[in-house]
Amino acid sequence: MKEVMIVTGAGQISMAIARRIGYGRKIVLGDKNMDNCNTIAKIMNDAGFDTEPFEMDLSSRESILAMIAKAQEFGEIKYLVNGAGVSPSQASVEAILKVDLYGTAVLLEEVGKVIANGGCGVTISSQSGWRMPQLTAKEDFQLAMTPTEELLDLDILKPENIRDTLHAYQMAKRCNEKRVMAECVKWGKRGARLNDIAPGIIVTPLAIDEFNGPRGDFYKNMFAKCPAGRPGTADEVANVAELLMSDRAAFITGSTFLCDGGATSGYFYGELRPTEKGAI
Ligand SMILES: NC(=O)c1ccc[n+]([C@@H]2O[C@H](COP(=O)([O-])OP(=O)(O)OC[C@H]3O[C@@H](n4cnc5c(N)ncnc54)[C@H](O)[C@@H]3O)[C@@H](O)[C@H]2O)c1
């Protein structure tokens, strides 16, 4: 029987990771957009992978549970890749919090209840969460530990306390990092690991929407002036995921890895430093 892998988000980052580690495994690929899902599943199956497209909405626990049940038809779930998400130019504050923050938290929780011994997972946050100023220790604890159904009731996530969609996205991605830390403790009890990658600007449909959105010039400047001097590729994110999902990372769990061409460093200590206080 093949090992079973759940992949959420039929996007470029998910596909690059799935192609790197999914060969010979049963891949259940979930996306809300079935055009994307069927397209990516076909590209992969035409290249010899065994991919099952599945309609799912990351913002719904019911939908996540349905995807888990589908994957379990093929055996015990051993791998999770969470690359579904929406960006600040694609969605409202509410949708970003529901998909990127709540949905990811529920997915990590539910897969963590059934993940196989020796299994591992990787979720995708963002460098964007690193540019936001530090939260208090109490706020970090709340993001990490609040029961999933109460998360969106936290004061710091109430609509009146979220400035705009970028702020919502940054809170969601910060929350992803904290949930990975909290969940990895539970995953560890099952003999499984969980990590996170925070990519910088990676050329994908999501990033292209950002280039064409209200912050397009900001992002173009960011990759031009970051130490790498260019945007990254989904395959470069997959390089990190391949390590994290392999036995060579057996001592790595609960970690977030920046993969941003140095943009975060440039933002704090280099040419990308904001000139006006509060600019992001
Ligand atoms: N591309 C970048 O520059 C970049 C940078 C940092 C972080 N990220 C993160 O990487 C992840 C993957 O993005 P990508 O760049 O591969 O984008 P992408 O546009 O190629 O893929 C994202 C996929 O997620 C799906 N999706 C959106 N909402 C969903 C929902 N509610 N349920 C299920 N699927 C849903 C979309 O339909 C799409 O197929 C996202 O979480 C994004 O925030 C991307």
pLDDT tens, residue by residue, 185-238? 999 999 999 999 999 999 999 899 889 988 899 889 999 999 999 999 999 999
Task: For residue 278, name the pLDDT band (cuts at 50, 70, 90).
Answer: very low
Give the Å distance between the CA of 44 and the centre of ligand 1.
Answer: 18
173 classed as catalytic: yes
Average pLDDT over the chain, rounded to whole?
A: 96
Q: How many CB atoms are closer than 10 A to CB 214? A: 12
Give the Å distance between the CA of 104 and the centre of ligand 1.
Answer: 12
Joined tokens for residue 191: 């003999």
Task: Identify the residue whose C-alpha is closest to ligand 1 atom 20.
Answer: 11
* Secondary structure class of 148 (helix, strand, coil): helix
What is the C-alpha to C-alpha distance for residues 274 and 280, in angstroms, rounded to an integer? 7
Annotate 20-80 with three-state secondary structure: HHCCCCEEEEEECCHHHHHHHHHHHHHCCCEEEEEECCCCCHHHHHHHHHHHHCCCCEEEE
Q: How many CB atoms are closer than 10 A to CB 149? A: 11
Over pLDDT 70: what percentage of the chain?
A: 98
The pLDDT of 270-277, averaged and rounded, is 80
Task: Identify the residue whose C-alpha is closest to ligand 1 atom 28.
Answer: 85
158 classed as catalytic: no
Q: Kindly state if the Cβ of 199 falls inside 6 Å of ligand 1.
A: yes
What is the C-alpha to C-alpha distance for residues 116 and 2, in angstroms, rounded to an integer? 13
Q: What is the pLDDT of residues 111-142, one digit of tens each?
A: 999 999 999 999 999 999 999 999 999 999 99
Question: Does residue 7 surpass a pLDDT of 60?
Answer: yes
* Secondary structure class of 161 (helix, strand, coil): helix
Q: Kindly state if the Cβ of 13 falls inside 6 Å of ligand 1.
A: yes
Scanning the structure block, which residue is given the tokens 């990771």?
17
Domains defined for the chain, CATH in brackets: 4-269 (3.40.50.720)
Q: Kindly state if the Cβ of 261 falls inside 6 Å of ligand 1.
A: no
Q: What is the pLDDT of residues 75-109, one digit of tens each?
A: 999 999 999 999 999 999 999 999 999 999 999 99
pLDDT of residue 210: 87
Contacts 24+ apart (CB under 8 A), 18-21: 18/44, 18/49, 18/51, 18/81, 19/44, 19/47, 19/49, 19/238, 20/235, 20/238, 20/239, 20/241, 20/242, 21/79, 21/81, 21/241, 21/242, 21/245, 21/246
DSSP string, 67-128: HHHHHHTTS-EEEEEE-----TTTS-HHHHIIIIIIIHHHHHHHHHHHPPTT-EEEEE--TH
Task: For residue 153, name the pLDDT band (cuts at 50, 70, 90).
Answer: very high
Q: What are phi and psi of 154, to 5 degrees?
A: -60, 140
CA 170-91-127 angle, to 5 degrees, is 25
Strands (E), 106-244: 120-124, 193-199
Question: Does residue 276 surpass a pLDDT of 70?
Answer: no
Tell me the CA distances in angstroms from 130 to 8, 74, 163, one per residue in order: 23, 38, 17
Q: Kindly state if the Cβ of 31 falls inside 6 Å of ligand 1.
A: yes
Q: Kindly state if the Cβ of 106 falls inside 6 Å of ligand 1.
A: no
Scanning the structure block, which residue is given the tokens 């992978």?
49
Q: Kindly state if the Cβ of 170 falls inside 6 Å of ligand 1.
A: no
Q: How many CB atoms are closer than 10 A to CB 181? A: 18
Contact 124, 100 (CB under 8 A): no
Tell me which of 169, 178, 219, 267 is the catalytic residue.
Answer: 169
pLDDT of residue 139: 98
pLDDT of residue 12: 96
158 contact partners, CB below 8 Å, separation of at least 6? none
What is the C-alpha to C-alpha distance for residues 56 and 72, in angstroms, rounded to an integer? 15
